[in-house]
Amino acid sequence: MAKIKTKELRSMDVADLDKKIKELKMELMKENAQIATGTIPKSPGNVRNIKKTIARIHTILAEPKANKKEEK
């Protein structure tokens, strides 16, 4: 999976981001299962990219909440 740019993620709505997180977590589970069984993944750096993308999405989803707290 190619790295998804932050700009693309920001253009998505909340429902799409939630759906994307679920897809990425499923993909991460598959990659981790491959590693656990001892087979070499096609792209070893892919696990890191998936984790970073999930973190980016969580950050984008948390931004509106952080902005509300700053205004108070």
Q: Residue 46 maps to which CATH number?
A: 1.10.287.310
- From the CB of residue 16, how many other CB atoms can be counted at a distance below 10 Å? 12
Task: Determine the structural domain holding residue 55 and report its residue range.
Answer: 6-71
If one counts the domains in the chain, the total is 1
Q: Mean pLDDT throughout 45-63?
A: 94
Residue 67 lies in a domain: yes
| Cα–Cα distance, 19 to 16 (Å, whole number) | 5
Q: Is the pLDDT of residue 57 over 90?
A: yes
| pTM for the model | 0.83
Return the sign of the alpha-carbon dihedral for residues 16, 10, 4, 30.
Answer: negative
Q: Is residue 1 part of a domain?
A: no
- Give the per-residue pLDDT at 72: 65
Sequence-distant contacts of 46-49: CB under 8 A, at least 24 apart = 46/1, 49/1, 49/3
Q: Is residue 56 part of a domain?
A: yes
